[in-house]
Structure 1
Amino acid sequence: MGPTDEPLSGAPADPTAAVPPAMDAEAKTVVDPVVVPQSEPEPVAGSEPTDALHDASAEPATAPDPMPPSQDPAIASTVSIPAEETSEGGEWDLLTGKLRDWMANNELNEIWEKTQTPAKLVGLLILVIVVLQIYSGILNTIEKLPLAPGLLELAGVIWLARFALQNLVRSGDRKQALDGLRNLWGKVTGR
């Protein structure tokens, strides 16, 4: 606050008025700070002040009394368990023992057999996503090169025209090309 600034209405003019009483170290007595009376806020035209507003400004607010601690005996009592001096923990032994029992009962094999197909499907899905991301990255890189997309499209049209002239013009060649495609499809699908 600067030297020319005025305090806000409702705020104490003296900054020490908001400080709680302090203990005097030598006398062990409470030192009361200087309290500056606050001016009451001006009422707004057309509205009537409420009693709660006047009551709150006339009497200082007191802090509510703290709640008494719970009387529940289960919460109120404490349990003390002495530590064993010879014990080293034993968690590792407990874990390895449970794993040995689990493997001895073939529970691991049963769980693997139940989850083998879904695990393969999830792995295959992750692999397909990774391959598609790599493929799209390669295509985006090629697309950014000048002249590369046009030249690759031209190469594709030339290859398609050459394949059509060699394999699709005559009926015998066309039948041989379709049989080769059916044979390849049968090998891929396992039929």
Structure 2
Amino acid sequence: MNATPENGNGGPDPEQVPEQAPEPSVATTLSVEASAAPLLAQAGPGDDGPNSGEGGEWELLLQKLREWLNQGQLQSFWAQASKPVTLLAALVGVLLVLRIYGALLGAIESLPLVPGLLELAGVVWMVRYGVPKLLRSSEREQLLGGLSKRWKSFRGQG
């Protein structure tokens, strides 16, 4: 037997067939044409064209940027900021050197026995060369005089 109820004609009963929702249709089709003109050469905010309408902030920004570049403001800004830029570049360079130096020391420290051997070499050097110069008063005065002379020449006073 058939599971669908039938009316007298052999077809399904119209009262019991659920209605199907209509399929959605495309309301409009949007087509965008490619522009061969570069972005900076497109129409400004006051011109009638494809960019006129709501918004226009991008065009306004580009216009102000073009005016700023044409007035030579970039050169005066660079002249004012050259010293801070140089200091910033020097700071970045020092930080880079310190990072490389730290990585090199870390690599040496990770090798087995090397840190202990370097520490031993430092102790041997101190005992061999440093202690005899510090024991005698004449050698000590000569060493301290040489260090103070180097310090003054380093500071530009001697």
Q: TM-score, normalization: structure 1?
A: 0.44
In the alignment, which of 82, 94, 106 is matched to residue 128 of structure 1?
94
* Counterpart for residue 185 of structure 1: 151
Q: C-alpha separation between the residues in 2 aligned to 1:153 and 1:147? A: 10
Per the TM alignment, residue 22 of structure 1 is displaced from its structure 2 partner at its CA by 2.5
Q: C-alpha separation between the residues in 2 aligned to 1:119 and 1:129? A: 15
Q: Identity across aligned pairs (percent)? A: 37
Distance verdict in 2 for CA 1:20–1:116, change over 3 Å: farther
In the alignment, which of 71, 76, 81 is matched to residue 48 of structure 2?
81
Q: C-alpha separation between the residues in 1 aligned to 2:110 and 2:49? A: 72
Aligned-partner residue type, residue 72 of structure 2: W
* Counterpart for residue 72 of structure 2: 102
**1:35-65 residue CA offsets vs partner (Å, 9 max, x unmatched):** xxxxxxxxxxxxxxxxxxxxxxxxxxxxxxx
Q: C-alpha separation between the residues in 1 aligned to 2:96 and 2:83? A: 20
Aligned-CA RMSD value: 3.4
Which of structures 1 and 2 has the larger relative contact order (alpha carbons within 8 angstroms, sep 6+)?
Answer: 1
Q: TM-score, normalization: structure 2?
A: 0.52
Equivalent residues in 2 for 1:50-69, closer than 5 Å: none
Instruction: Determine which structure has the larger helix proportion and give its number.
Output: 2
Equivalent residues in 2 for 1:7-156, closer than 5 Å: 21-23=20-22, 81-82=48-49, 95=66, 99=69, 101-102=71-72, 108=75, 110-156=76-122
Distance verdict in 2 for CA 1:146–1:133, change over 3 Å: same
Per the TM alignment, residue 167 of structure 1 is displaced from its structure 2 partner at its CA by 2.1
Distance verdict in 2 for CA 1:123–1:23, change over 3 Å: closer
**1:67-107 residue CA offsets vs partner (Å, 9 max, x unmatched):** xxxxxxxxxxxx98158xxxxxxx9xx95x8656417xxx7
Distance verdict in 2 for CA 1:82–1:23, change over 3 Å: closer
Q: Where does structure 1 lack aligned partners over 5 or more consecutive residues? A: 1-18, 25-78, 84-90
Aligned-partner residue type, residue 170 of structure 1: R
Paired residues, what number? 105
Q: Secondary structure at the match of 1:22?
A: coil
